[in-house]
Amino acid sequence: MSHTDEPALDPDLFAPYGRLVELEVLGRAVRVPERNSLLRGFQYLSVETISYGDFCWNGDCTNCQFWYREGGQPQDKTALACRFEARDGLVITRLAPQVRIKGVTE
Ligand code: FES
């Protein structure tokens, strides 16, 4: 019998999506659901650390802050992952320390 400590990934967590978008997080290529927030995308990649993380999910705590580039812009911009829709081609260069993603930050 197989056993895992990972909580099951509940499909109801996610807004309906048809495909995964491709982006880069700290140098790693990842795929996360389209039409969902980036924080949901991080949860998709690392259900335990994000589900049990210290996140308000509504733009108040700033614990989900990240820095990113896209389209050749010279300077990083910053945003809140719970308020930002995942999209193709994002290059995420830095994450708030509360954002722990298995396989990326640990
Ligand atoms: S999770 Fe609190 S601001 Fe995004």
Condensed to tens digits (0 to 9), the pLDDT of residues 1-43 reads 445 555 677 878 899 999 999 999 999 999 999 999 999 999 9
Q: Which atom of ligand 1 is nearest to the CA of 65?
A: 4
Q: In a mutational test of the pocket of ligand 1, which residue from 36, 64, 99 has the highest number of ligand atoms less than 8 Å from its CB?
A: 64
Q: Per-domain residue ranges for the chain?
A: 21-95
Protein fold of 21-95: Ubiquitin-like (UB roll) (3.10.20)
13: CB partners within 8 A, 6+ apart: 40, 43
Burial string for 78-105 (b: 16+ CB within 10 Å, else e) reads: eebbbebebeeebbbbebbeebbbeebe
H/E element holding 6? none
- Per-residue pLDDT at 65: 98
What percentage of the chain exceeds 70 in pLDDT? 93
What is the C-alpha to C-alpha distance for residues 106 and 21, in angstroms, rounded to an integer? Answer: 22
- Per-residue pLDDT at 71: 86
What is the C-alpha to C-alpha distance for residues 88 and 74, in angstroms, rounded to an integer? Answer: 18
Distance 2 CA to ligand 1 centre (A): 34
Distance 81 CA to ligand 1 centre (A): 7
Q: pTM value? A: 0.90
Over 60: is that where the pLDDT of 88 sits?
A: yes
Q: State mean pLDDT over 77-91.
A: 97
- Per-residue pLDDT at 33: 96
Report whether residue 30 contacts ligand 1, using a CB cutoff of 6 Å. Answer: no
Distance 39 CA to ligand 1 centre (A): 8
Q: State mean pLDDT over 58-83.
A: 95
Report whether residue 78 contacts ligand 1, using a CB cutoff of 6 Å. Answer: no
- Per-residue pLDDT at 1: 45
